[in-house]
Amino acid sequence: MGVSTSRRALDALRTTTGRRVAGAVVALAVTTTGVAAVAATEPGSAERPRLVVPPVAVEQAGGVSSLPALPALPPLELPDPNASIPPELLPEQPQTWGLTSTASGIPAQALAAYQAAQRLLAEADPGCRIDWALLAGIGKVESDHGRWGRNLLDAGGTAVPGIFGIPLTGDGVARITDTDGGRYDRDVVFDRAVGPMQFIPGTWRSVGADGNDDGRRDPQNMFDAATAAGVYLCSGSGDLTDSSDLTRAVLRYNHSMDYVAKVTSIAASYRAGHSVVPATALPPGYAGRSPYLPPAGAQPGPGASPTPGATGEPSSGTGSTPAPKPTSGSSTPQPKPTSTSPVPQPKPPSAPAPLPKPPAVPLPRVTATPLPSTTVAVDPDPFSVGDTVKITAGQYLGVTAQVAKVDTVKNTVTVSVKTGLLTVPVVLPYGSVTLVP
Q: Name residue 126's beta-bridge partners.
A: none
Position 62 scores a pLDDT of 79
Residue 341, φ and ψ in degrees, nearest 5: -70, 145
Confidence of residue 28 (pLDDT cuts 50, 70, 90): very low
178-228 confidence digits (pLDDT tens) = 999 999 999 999 999 999 999 999 999 999 999 999 999 999 999 999 999
Position 191 scores a pLDDT of 96
Domain ranges of the chain: 3-40, 93-288, 388-435
What class, spelled out in words, does domain 388-435 have in CATH?
mainly beta
pLDDT for 299 beyond 80 = no
Distance CA 400, CA 138 (A): 40
The model carries a pTM of 0.58
341-365 confidence digits (pLDDT tens) = 454 555 555 555 555 554 554 544 4
Distance CA 191, CA 78 (A): 25
227-265 confidence digits (pLDDT tens) = 999 999 999 999 999 999 999 999 999 999 999 999 999
Output the CA angle 49-52-58, nearest 5 degrees: 165
The dihedral over CA atoms of 223, 225, 228, 230, expressed in degrees to the nearest 10, equals: -70
C-alpha dist (Å) from residue 270 to 131, 132, 278: 11, 9, 17
Distance CA 54, CA 30 (A): 8
372-418 confidence digits (pLDDT tens) = 333 333 344 577 788 888 888 888 888 888 888 888 778 788 988 88
